[in-house]
Amino acid sequence: MNSFLRNLTTSQQIGALFIVVFGVLSLATLWGFFRSLREHASDDPQAEAHAQEVKRFWGLIKTSWVMATVFWIGWALGDTVATVLFAIVGFFALREFITLSPTRRGDHRSLVLAFFVVLPLQFTIVGSRMFDLFTVFIPVYVFLALPVVSALANDPERFLERNAKLQWGIMVCVYGMSHVPALLLLDFPGYREKGAFLVFFLVFVVQTCMLVQHLVGQRFPHKPVAPQVSQSFQWASWLAGVAAGGLAGGLLSFITPFKPGQALGMALLACFAGSLGHLVMKALKRDRGVTSWGMQGMSVTGAGGLLDRVDALCFAAPVFFHSTRWYFGL
């Protein structure tokens, strides 16, 4: 299988991977659809648990479809369009985050700066391949500039809390998301113009980790680690998810510049960061008193927002990107 794929052109390799991925997703979707047809009586004590289980499963399936579709569109339309596409994803993710964070009139200047200056500049720097500047632009310059702009608005009430929330939103939704198109633009000796495989590798291993973690936790429930934050996060299922994601990464080493052991290690890092980042975002949602991001997330039964689909990726991408650059000395 590996030798067969290596003999194909880059476009043929990506096409073959897409056929496999979309085929697996289609089968999983059909399986979930037929499974959801199981009827439960309204007075069945297991009805509510079943409904929550189905909801979480469909959330993971939708996330996988979104990631696969975005990846395919980005690859098909080229690096520039892919960068713009992920910038749009970051924009709407940040909008969802800010919508659920209380703001005051004094924050308007900072919000304008975040949405219409910081975000486009960050992705422009990515598209220009200025990776050293891209790495420090938000953590250094933006983190210093935002409080200054807020202070000039002459509104000191809850100043630290308001600025911390905005900075955290920018860090996750803009800084984290911008590392995905950055992977597309990385070039290695003997691995040029194949950055799309790195994005595919990252998305696949993280989604494998999250899906296995959910399924194992559902099939073999244990005591939750942090029940006030998440009833579904358990050490056993988390370890199983990370291990499955790492194994998937090792098996996909032939599409990356890594050897099997290196790919396994990189996949474990990505899964570790993504799964724990997802837990952190759950804690933020509990703090805001919602179950999902987006305007519909204000209700318990509302569908999840875009940020629910990409939160794990926003944490995994920076870790994977900088670990890859460090390893190859880029």
Same domain? 2 vs 135: no
CA dihedral (61, 283, 178, 330) in degrees, to 10, reads: -100
Verify that 315 and 299 share a domain, yes or no. yes
Same domain, 186 and 84: yes
Contact between residue 293 and residue 254 where contact means Cβ atoms under 8 Å apart: no
| DSSP letters for 240-275 | HHHHHHHHHHHHTGGGSSS-HHHHHHHHHHHHHHHH
Q: Among candidates 169, 221, 183, which has minimal Cα distance to 328?
A: 183
Alpha carbons 177 and 188: distance in angstroms, whole number? 22
pLDDT digits (tens, 9 = 90+) for 56-94: 667 667 766 766 776 677 667 778 888 998 899 899 999
pLDDT tens, position by position, 200-238: 899 889 988 988 998 898 888 888 888 898 888 999 999
Helix (H, G, I), strand (E, B) or coil at 220: coil
Whether 274 and 166 map to the same domain: the answer is yes
Note the helical H segments in the chain.
Answer: 2-6, 10-36, 47-77, 79-99, 108-113, 119-127, 131-136, 143-152, 159-169, 177-185, 195-219, 235-251, 260-288, 306-328
Enter the pTM of the model.
0.82
Contact 61, 29 (CB under 8 A): yes
Return the pLDDT at 298. Answer: 46
110 & 199 share domain: yes
Q: Which helix (H) or strand (E) segment is 138 a member of? A: none
From residue 32, how far is each of 60, 69, 181 by CA, in Å? 11, 19, 31
Burial 37-51 (b: 16+ CB within 10 A, else e): eeeeeeeeeeeeeee
Q: Are residues 42 and 172 in the same domain?
A: no
Same domain for 72 and 25 = yes
3-state secondary structure of 158: coil
Could you tell me the residue range of the domain that residue 6 belongs to?
1-77
Distance CA 6, CA 314 (A): 30
Sign of the torsion angle spanned by Cα atoms 162, 164, 168, 170:
positive
Q: Do 126 and 210 share a domain, yes or no?
A: yes
Mean pLDDT to the nearest integer, 182-196: 79
Residue 163, token pair as written in the block: 């600025």
- 161 and 173 within one domain: yes
Q: Look at residue 297 in the predicted model and tell me its pLDDT.
A: 45
Which residues, 6+ apart, have CB-to-CB distance to 327 below 8 Å? Answer: 262, 266
User: Among 55, 77, 99, which residue terminates a domain?
Assistant: 77
For residue 10, the model assigns a pLDDT of 57
Ramachandran angles phi, psi of 188, nearest 5°: -120, 155
Is the model's pLDDT at 39 over the cut of 60? no
Check whether residue 107 and residue 1 sit in a common domain: no
Output the pLDDT for position 137: 96
pLDDT in the model for residue 302: 39
Q: In this predicted structure, what is the pLDDT of residue 301?
A: 34
Q: Which residues of 106-124 are buried (b: 16+ CB within 10 A; e: fewer)?
A: bbeebbebbbeebbebbbe
Q: What angle do CA 169, 290, 90 make, to 5 degrees?
A: 30
Q: Report the chain's C-alpha Rg in angstroms.
A: 20
**Co-location of 120 and 32 in the same domain:** no
For the chain, the domain total comes to 2
Residue 282 pLDDT more than 50? yes
